[in-house]
C-alpha cells in the first residue's frame, strides 16, 4: 500500500460523544487529509477512524488548507468532505464502513476567528445533519459521522447550544471544570 504524504497516527477508540470503538478496535487518523491527491478517498479506503481538515473562513467560504496562503477558492469543507461523505454514506446504506464500527470522526480545525468560523461551519453542517452525530436538548443522537471542532473553538457558545451538529475536541484542561462530557 502506498501512503505517500499520508500521515496516520494510532487512534485508540473513538470516545467522542459516548461513541466508543472499544479497547480492542484500534483506528488510525488521517492528519491533514486534504494534502492527499484525492482528499478523503484514501482515508475511507483504509478505514481511518478520524480525518482532520483545517478550515479558514475566507470570502464567504470555508476553505481548506494548513496555512491561509494555501487555500484556494472552491476547495472547501463542503466540496472536499461533506458532499463526498454524503454520497459515500448513501451508497453504503447509511454507514461509513459496511460491516460496522463507530462513527467516522471528522476533526474540523478552525484556523480563523472562533465565533464567525464556527457559525459558518455550523450553517454548513446543518445541511448534512442526517448523517451527523448531534446533540439535542442534552441528548446525543448517533450518526455515521461525528464532527469535532478543534483549534479556535468557541467552547462557551457551543456548550450553550441546545441543538448542535458538532462537539468540542477536548484538551487536558477540560478534564477539570471544563465543558460537560456531552459537549466535549
> pLDDT of the chain along its 184 residues, tens only?
233 333 333 232 333 333 444 433 457 888 888 888 888 999 998 889 999 999 999 999 999 999 999 999 999 999 999 999 999 999 999 999 988 777 899 999 999 999 999 999 999 999 999 999 999 998 999 999 999 999 999 988 998 999 999 999 877 776 676 666 667 6
Q: What's the CA gap between 25 and 103, in Å, rounded? A: 13
Q: What's the CA gap between 180 and 184, in Å, rounded? A: 6
How far the first Cα of the chain sits from its last, in Å, is 35
User: In angstroms, how far is CA 97 from the centroid of its own chain?
Assistant: 16
Q: What's the CA gap between 23 and 45, in Å, rounded? A: 22
Please say whether the beta carbons of 149 and 142 come within 8 A.
no
Residue 33 phi, psi dihedral angles, 5° rounding:
-55, -30
pLDDT of residue 33: 81
Q: What nine digits make up the cell of 177?
A: 471544570
Task: Report strand pairing: 167-168 vs 145-151.
Answer: parallel
Please say whether the beta carbons of 184 and 146 come within 8 A.
no
pLDDT of residue 21: 42
Amino acid at each position: 500500500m502506498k501512503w505517500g504524504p499520508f500521515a496516520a497516527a494510532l487512534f485508540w477508540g473513538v470516545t467522542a460523544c459516548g461513541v466508543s470503538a472499544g479497547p480492542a478496535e484500534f483506528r488510525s487518523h488521517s492528519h491533514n487529509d486534504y494534502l492527499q491527491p484525492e482528499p478523503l478517498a484514501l482515508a475511507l479506503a483504509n478505514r481511518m477512524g478520524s480525518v482532520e481538515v483545517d478550515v479558514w473562513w475566507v470570502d464567504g467560504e470555508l476553505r481548506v488548507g494548513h496555512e491561509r496562503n494555501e487555500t484556494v477558492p472552491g476547495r472547501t469543507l463542503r466540496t472536499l468532505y461533506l458532499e463526498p461523505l454524503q454520497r459515500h454514506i448513501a451508497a453504503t446504506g447509511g454507514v461509513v464502513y459496511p460491516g460496522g464500527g463507530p462513527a467516522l470522526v471528522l476533526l474540523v480545525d478552525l484556523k480563523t476567528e472562533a465565533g464567525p468560523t464556527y457559525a459558518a461551519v455550523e450553517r454548513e453542517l446543518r445541511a448534512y445533519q442526517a448523517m451527523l452525530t448531534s446533540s439535542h436538548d442534552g441528548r446525543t443522537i448517533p450518526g455515521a459521522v461525528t464532527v469535532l471542532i478543534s483549534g479556535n473553538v468557541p467552547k462557551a457558545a457551543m456548550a450553550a447550544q441546545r441543538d448542535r451538529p458538532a462537539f468540542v475536541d477536548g484538551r487536558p484542561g477540560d478534564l477539570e471544570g471544563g465543558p460537560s462530557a456531552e459537549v466535549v
